Amino acid sequence: MVEGGCGKCIQYLMFTFNLLFWLAGCGILGVGIWLRVTQGDFATLVPSIPFVTAPNLCIIAGVIVMVVGFIGCCGALKENKCLLLTFFVMLFIIFCLEITAGALAYVYRDHLEKFAREDLTRGMNQYGMTGQSGLTRAWDLFQTEKHCCGVNNSTDWL
């Protein structure tokens, strides 16, 4: 399908970039697995939704990036229109989701800040409780690394 030197160059360039994309996905997945194994639920980002942890987000993002990169590599090498169309549709969907998430975050930034404060306060109230070792470690690390206390200030602990 691709004829001539320029077409082959573009084909291999697309393969190379998608291979790098796939390798980046492997790296993100590896970091997620490493965090899951070494830290467990240490970094619970949203206590009201326990699944939203840094390791889980890395694992999900890594798998998505790997799948998209793999489809792009296969499509470029095999010159398969169906694979290339799938690849571009997936990229377009990811792009639209990113734009939508950014726009929603901007529009609802005040609500997000309020939600974050409420969730952080709820997490602070669970500090040191049985079954909350990950949350307790996250608060300890946050306070040690950022040299701060509480959600608003140190009086939050009173």
What pTM, to 2 d.p., does this model score?
Answer: 0.69
The Cα–Cα gap between 135 and 57 comes to 17
DSSP code per residue over 85-134: HHHHHHHHHHHHHHHHHHHHHHHTHHHHHHHHHHHHHHHHHTTT-TT-HH
Query: What's at 56, amino acid-wise?
Result: N
Q: What is the pLDDT of residues 84-138, one digit of tens each?
A: 999 999 999 999 999 999 999 899 888 878 887 888 788 788 887 887 777 777 7
| Higher per-residue pLDDT: 102 or 143 | 102
Q: What is the mean pLDDT of residues 9-37?
A: 92
The Cα–Cα gap between 23 and 90 comes to 18
| Higher per-residue pLDDT: 53 or 19 | 19
The Cα–Cα gap between 140 and 58 comes to 22
pLDDT band at 47; cut points 50, 70, 90: low
Strand, helix or coil for residue 46: coil
pLDDT band at 51; cut points 50, 70, 90: low
